[in-house]
Amino acid sequence: MREPPPSAGPTRGVIAGIFVGGAGARMGGRAKGMMHAPSGGTIVERWLDVLRAAGVDRVVLVGRHEAYASLGLETIDDEPAGVGPLGGLSALLRRAGEAHALAFACDMPFVSPALARRLWSAPGAPIVAPRRDGRWEPFCARYDPARVLPIARERIAAGHRSLQGLLTQAGAVELPLEPGEAEQLRDWDTIDDTRDG
């Protein structure tokens, strides 16, 4: 039987969104999530394993690509479309309702269950996220939709699409990284990155 997250963490439910992007142009049209992770299997399969091990059972894909159709996972589109990653995040926060939302980029194939669990169980805050080189990691983060979605919608309406700006304005709290965790946040942006995995 899986143990619940530590009592210091959020008391509400949680839903995880794996941000799979769109057409995969930077990967030659291939869906990032269907590429093979260093540990074997696809990146999306690895994410599902990581999230289950972290105690997260509700998972959706944010973004649409025909390659994911056979997975049987709920898929949500950007809301609104055409505003970049902020539209996907807004859609996830709306879908989460009263639950907390974990947001993960599918092209981070090294994140561990321990790091995902620490995000979920961190003390309450509008947003909890690591920082690297002075910048937030918005797609390795936990969001409180009730506090963040209104701000996201206001920023979209005003034409402000920066995720860094959203996290700063919403009062994000830094999740300190433990030794070795910074390397887990390395992502795959191009085909060349996958050869270094």
Give the tens place of pLDDT for each residue, 84-105: 999 999 999 999 999 999 999 9
CATH number attached to the domain at 14-192: 3.90.550.10
Instruction: List, in order, residues 6 or more apart from 36 with CB less than 8 Å away.
Output: 42, 43
Most confident among 45-59, 69-83, 146-160, 181-195 (mean pLDDT): 146-160
Quickly count: other Cβ atoms within 10 Å of residue 80's Cβ. Answer: 13
- In the chain, DSSP assigns E strands to 14-19, 59-62, 74-76, 100-105, 127-129, 131-132, 135-136, 140-143, 173-174
Mean pLDDT of the region 26-52: 78
Please state the rounded mean pLDDT for residues 51-71.
89
Percent of the chain, pLDDT > 70? 83
Confidence of residue 72 (pLDDT cuts 50, 70, 90): confident
Angle value at C-alpha 160, between 159 and 164, nearest 5 degrees: 165
The per-residue pLDDT for 190 is 45
Tell me: pLDDT of 193 over 60.
Answer: no
Determine the Cα–Cα distance for residues 97 and 118; give it in Å rounded to an integer.
22
